[in-house]
Amino acid sequence: RDALLAIPNGEARPVSELTKADFSHVCILQPYQNRVQADHGELDLARANAHLSAIEYAGDEGRWALILIADAAIELVVFNRSSKLDLMAVQQLQSTDAAALLPIGFVPMNSAAGNRAALSKIGFGERTYVVLGEVS
């Protein structure tokens, strides 16, 4: 949480700088989302979703999550939504003009390859949003 809060609005940081975990993919789980829906065809959705079922993860209005997927393990990091740290997914970016606030070369995605995965923060309205993507 602190690492995300430290990212200045309008900038991106590689996920690998924010966590010690070694992972092949990072995906977001929006509020109410209980399963991974990936942008990457090579992502093992069945294994990720089986893990979410095994831990009985249930998304709700007040939470969002990052799921870090590695060969050996899967880690889920859950965040409480707040005005200082909320999530904006690709679908929300497409329906607003908030995408113009993202750094140049940052491509928003709901699931990103681990070696290119990055998180950006933007201020939009009266909230600060985290956006997952890849840096090109």
pLDDT value, residue 41? 61
Residues forming a β-bridge with 5: none
The answer to whether residues 44 and 67 touch, using CB atoms and an 8 Å cutoff, is no
pLDDT value, residue 40? 56
Tokens coding 71: 């060969």
Instruction: Give the Cα separation of 87 and 71 in Å (integer).
Output: 26
Residues forming a β-bridge with 64: 79
pLDDT value, residue 79? 95
Residue that is written with structure tokens 């390859």 in the block: 113
Kind of pairing between the strands at 127-135 and 86-87: parallel
Task: State the 10-residue block means of pLDDT for the chain, 136 residues long.
Answer: 92 90 89 82 80 95 94 92 94 89 94 92 94 91
Gap between the terminal Cα atoms of the chain: 25
pLDDT value, residue 14? 94
Dihedral of alpha carbons 16, 22, 23, 28, sign = negative
pTM of the prediction? Answer: 0.91
**b (16+ CB within 10 A) / e for 74-99:** beebebeeeeebbbbbbebbeeeebb
Measured CA to CA in angstroms, residue 109 lies from 38, 53, 54, 55, 56 at distances of: 9, 23, 25, 25, 25
